[in-house]
Structure 1
Amino acid sequence: MNFIEIFKSSIQSLISNKMRSLLTMLGIIIGISSVIAMSAIGKGGEKKITGNLANSGFGVYEITVDEDADEYKSIYSLKKEDIEYIQKNVDGIMAITASVRERIDIRNNLGKEIRRMAVVDSTTPDYEKVDEVEYIEGRPILSVEYEECTPVIVLDHITAKKLFGNKSSLGEKVTIDFKGLYIVKEFTVVGVFRHPDATMNEIGLAPRMPTFTRIPLSQMERLQGTENYETVVVMPEDPTNGKQVLADVIRQLESRNHSDIYEYEEKVSKGSELKSILETLNIFIIFVASISLFVGGIGVMNIMLVSVTERIKEIGIRKAIGAKNNDILFQFLTEAILLSLIGGGIGILMGYVLSYIIGYFISIQPIVSPTIVGMSVIISTLIGLIFGVYPAKQASMLNPIDALRNE
């Protein structure tokens, strides 16, 4: 028999026993769909968690100068030109910006003042990517306001309420006392954002809330009289590749400034550890789901043995008219592989659909990995091959005379 005849014969055999074939494939279908669905939900959950961590500093790195180094000189301070140089010469960076924070006192035009735990961040358009906030009133600082050094400010909503009560703060003037600079300056409020720790405050875990405000970096540079920075913040496009990108940034800085006193640190160092734990947990979940594939394989072997027993006389007739052992072996092996492949195909489709149904109810966007789908196809084939060998071998070794005598 040639391969086409063996294939046709295998298809006819499966069709003639539709219910048995479907029940045999059920183990494979459940196993493959479980692997696909659990992998997609696990990857989606991992992305959602690490995405939330990113808002708290995961995947964001701070570059600083080691001022305690013996070779330190003020000329090695991080400068605006360094940032522009890195943007041009290092790939894989989503955002890079100076980070300048000052302790302040803030008061409104009626004299109401906030002194305790008040800080101002000097921001740029890239800073808004690095440290995203949700604006609930007004707007962020505009690019033209950064460029023209406009004295505007945005407040967190708790601070805005302390200063202006239930009245809108947009367009109001606030006076900022820069404690470290001994400078007092008036700013116009253009936006109000949700306080980053508001949720913790609402459940009583953060009763004392710091005051957060933001002004253009260009304003701070003018007030300080310098474009040198102690810290530069970098956000790589791919958080998993962050350390490699930062190593490249450090090399570029060292080459440009002829010094090796630059260093970097992840803002949330535990974030990488948590991501590693999530990846390990995802692998474990996939492994547990894969156990059902083994059970499905046992089912394929069991049914194929039953099929061999039922078709002993057919095997005897085929051998009597010239079929060789290999012909019988390949026919039963082909049937087993077809059972697994068809079951695997249905399982992939069901797993894809199931992942989106589960994701909808638990608010997770599933990520179906092409690698997992490809592996599922390979595994389906291997299950048919491995668990179909023994029954096929048993069938091929039957003695034709004994097979014909079988009742």
Structure 2
Amino acid sequence: MSDYLKYAVKNLFRNKFRTFLTIIGIAIGVCSVIIIGSISDMGKSAINSELNSLGIGALTIETDKRVTDMELSENDLQVIQSTDKVTKAVPIMLEYTNAYTRNLVLNSAVWGIDSGAKQIFSLQLLYGRLIGKADVGASENVCVVDKVFAQQTYKRTNIVGKAIKIRLGGSDEEFKIIGVVNSGGNMLQSLLSSYIPTFVYVPYTSLQKAAGKQSFDQIALQVADSSAIDAVAKNVIRRLEQATGYKEIYKTQNIAGQKDKLNNLLSIISYVLSAIAAISLIVAGLSIMTVMLVSVNERTREIGIKKAIGARRVTIMSEFILEAFAISILGSLIGSVIGLLLSLLGFFFMNITPIINIPLLLICIGFAIVNGTIFGVYPAAQASKLNPVDALRTE
């Protein structure tokens, strides 16, 4: 076996450039699959981090607008707050509108929140203060903006004390900025600023006053036991239906469940793209077959001499199969190293903790080696079948 390996490696360098191109073809295929897998892992990590940072509790309750015009009320809030295993419930109002400042118009999601919303939303205070009970009780026109809003309007993060106008209820209402927060979603907002709005938080009573209503759009709640979210959701709906007498008008949204669905979608996309990239490995395998057939043709006389002095068919086959194996493993290792380095650079620039998908790496290397070796079997068989007399006649 050591002799087979020695001759296989020696024969690889007979035509260095041709061998190099074949190895590079395999390396590109392996590198492509690893990079696609890493992009998928990177996307999952980034999106999960952003969804977690957005907060919005573990569960939200709202009425189904497809079947009713009813909205949630204070009585509904009290029913939810008294439900077993619900640790916190806060009213939420949401208005997608425009905010004006310094002759700039920003597409904004204006959240009407309670003073205890920090326990539901992920609001990391950077400057100023958050909305308090007094602000909610007096329906004050004060607001908290996220870091992206501050940077887009004033090119700095601390804009406490500034005033903005928000279009609410058909008119422009002026609000004083009392705080700046890192509210989550900043990465997505930065990358997709044309599609993802900036966040502005106001007392929900102020939003109610501007809209002229006493109801809520949603109620967000925290659950004591995350494993019992579905059971709590069913219990909340059951109690709301008992309290109001209305059936099938309430619905819940499990934020964790939505995240799982998104992860599954990303996985499917990753598998499809990886399969497409794997086609390049099959093409590289065909190139190995072509190179090996050319090598057999070039070494016909050598094969004839070996068979004339007693070399068996299995000896000739083993030599050529080991050459295909050597090309495959060199290409796989080079592609893996390059793919991992590029992936790590991507994680670094995206400021995401590196994730190395070991199973994907091993499967990719194994497939490339097996694929290349299999494509080397036919040329090896052709070489082993050569008649020594005919081979020796070859010039």
TM-score (structure 2 length as normaliser): 0.61
CA distance 1:252–1:348, shift in 2 (3 Å)? farther
Partner residue, 2:4: 6
Structure 1: distance between partners of 2:224 and 2:321: 54
Partner in structure 2 of residue 329 of structure 1: 317
Task: Note the C-alpha offset of 1:232.
Answer: 3.7
Match of 2:13 in 1: 15
Provide Cα deviations, 1:300-343, integer angstroms capped at 9, x if missing partner. Answer: 11111111111112222222222211111111111101100111
- Contact preservation (8 Å) 1:57, 1:268: no
Deviation, 1:52, is 2.5
Q: Which residue of 2 aligns with 1:395?
A: 383
Q: 2:114 aligns with which of 118, 121, 141?
A: 121
Alpha-carbon contact 1:35-1:290 (below 8 Å) kept: yes
Instruction: Give 2:254's match in structure 1, choosing from 266, 274, 288.
Output: 266
Amino-acid identity (%): 32
- Equivalent residue pairs, number: 319
Q: 2:25 matched to 1:27?
A: yes
Equivalence map 1:297-316=2 (5 Å): 297-316=285-304
Alpha-carbon distance in structure 2 between the residues aligned to 1:294 and 1:58:
47
- Match 2:281 to one of 293, 302, 307: 293
Distance, in Å, in 2 between the alignment partners of 1:347 and 1:303 is 20
SS of match in other structure, 1:395:
helix
Q: C-alpha separation between the residues in 2 aligned to 1:268 and 1:41?
A: 22
C-alpha distance in structure 1 between counterparts of 2:123 and 2:35, whole Å: 33
Q: Any idea what SS the aligned residue of 2:202 has?
A: strand
Q: 1:102 to 1:315 in 2, by over 3 A?
A: closer
Whether contact under 8 Å (1:136, 1:192) holds in the other structure is yes
Matched, 1:246 2:229: yes
Query: Structure 1 48/308 Cα, relative in aligned 2: closer, same or farther at 3 Å?
Result: same
- Tell me the SS of whatever aligns to 2:386: coil
The separation in 2 between residues aligned to 1:7 and 1:374, in whole angstroms, is 23
1:233 aligns with 2:226: no
Q: Answer whether contact 1:338 1:384 (CA < 8 A) is retained.
A: no
Deviation at 1:295, TM superposition (A): 1.5
Contact 2:53–2:183 (8 Å) recurs in 1: no
* Contact in 2 for aligned 1:312/1:406 (Cα 8 Å): yes
Structure 2 contact 111–199 (Cα < 8 Å) conserved: no
Does 1:404 pair with 2:387? Answer: no
Once residues 159 and 289 of structure 2 are traced to their aligned partners in structure 1, the CA distance between those partners, rounded to angstroms, is 75
Change (3 A) 1:283 1:317: same
Equivalent residue, structure 1, for 2:45:
47
Query: Kindly tell me: are residues 363 and 288 of structure 1, through their superposed partners in 2, closer, same or farther at Cα, counting changes over 3 Å?
Result: farther
Structure 2 residue 334 is the aligned partner of structure 1 residue 346: yes
Distance change (3 Å), C-alpha of 1:291 and 1:245: farther
Gap change, CA 1:16 and 1:288, over 3 Å in 2:
same
SS in 1 for 2:114: strand
Name the structure 1 match of 2:270.
282
TM-superposed CA distance for 1:57, in Å, is 5.4
Query: RMSD over aligned Cα, in angstroms?
Result: 5.4
Query: In the alignment, what sits opposite 1:38?
Result: 36
Q: Is the 8 Å Cα contact of residues 59 and 220 (structure 2) preserved in structure 1?
A: no
- Residue 212 of structure 1: CA displacement? 3.1
Question: 1:89 aligns to what?
Answer: none
Gap regions ≥5 residues in structure 2: 63-75, 95-109, 132-141, 151-157, 162-176, 205-218, 237-250
**Offset at 1:27?**
0.5
CA distance in 1, matches of 2:34, 2:269: 15
Residue 123 of structure 2 is aligned to residue 133 of structure 1:
yes
Decide whether aligned partners of structure 1 residues 397 and 193 sit closer, same or farther in structure 2, where only a CA change above 3 A counts: same
How has the CA–CA distance of structure 1 residues 231 and 276 changed in structure 2, closer, same or farther, with 3 Å as cutoff?
A: same
* Distance in 2 (alpha carbons) for counterparts of 1:236 and 1:8: 63
For 1:233, what is the secondary structure of its paired residue?
Answer: strand
Distance 1:5 1:400 in 2: 21
- For residues 229 and 220 of structure 2, the distance between their equivalents in structure 1, rounded to whole angstroms, comes to 14
Task: Give the distance between the partners of 2:194 and 2:338, measured in 1 at CA.
Answer: 44
Gap change, CA 1:132 and 1:329, over 3 Å in 2: same
Gaps of 5+ in 1: 65-73, 85-95, 104-116, 142-153, 170-188, 215-229, 238-243, 254-262
Contact 1:156 1:213 in 2 (8 A): no
In structure 2, relative to structure 1, the CA distance for the partners of 1:59 and 1:121 (3 Å cut) is closer
